[in-house]
Amino acid sequence: MGLFTSKEKQIENPIKDGVLGEFKLHELLNRGGMSEIWSATDMHHNHYALRMLNQNLRFDFTAKKRFLRGCEILSQVYDHEHIVQYYDHGKINGTLFLLMECVEGGNLKQLSHKGDPVLTQNLSETLIFIASALDHVHLQGFIHLDFKPENILMTRNGIVKLVDFDLSVPIQEKPFKTKKNPGTPFYMAPEQLLKQPIDRRVDIFSFGVTAYELTTQSKPFPGESPEEILKFQLNQSRYLATPRSINPSIPEGLEAIILKCLKQDPESRYPYMSVVLAELEKVLYLR
């Protein structure tokens, strides 16, 4: 017990007078179990979002590995207008950090719940934008594995940015099993919840859940536990309400796309996000 207490006392706050290394920290934008994100400026007054690993995880190898993986993958996929821009990552005063674009706005979950007019008035474009971002991630050779409204930010003028690549993994030639089963159950495909081999089509399922939620204000499989969510997924004919039965203003073509993304069998879903994107552009008259 004394050993752990001693170790805790050795962890010093790397922030001194609101400064971390060369960066001045202004406002805490978000705090989670793994990291904090601050609004920050450098000595040249350039504005960033600075994400840092929480101090209590400095000696947690798994957390450090996940944080660094997210940084490294973002550095390979950020060259897209709807993915948050990457600038740098490394270590300052013993603390891992990621320097990225500061997106002033909320995430799609927050904006959807409060009926934000920028989102509601630009929903068709938003679906196109996020499909385009996910397609780019796949084309760069990665599965996002945590695609959901909380990980999509929207600026005040309606530009969306996909974030958080900590769980992302490289695409492999054949479906593969992951050592762990990370993700958010509401947005996970049945094969993930069953711990079966996965491929990029799990992201297509997550896109379908996200699109369903944004257009209906409801979750397609609203279970209280992973087991209950899986039960709903495996009995779609009984439990899944069609999007138009909730929101009749949804175009029939868009409903068909969403439902195909949500198919239980990955072989029945779209094979690639590029196909989803092309179908969306056709149905929503943006092509």
Of 116, 135, 146, 203, catalytic: 146
Alpha-carbon gap, residue 252 to 282, rounded angstroms: 12
Alpha-carbon gap, residue 183 to 146, rounded angstroms: 5
265 is catalytic: no
Active site (catalytic) residues: 146
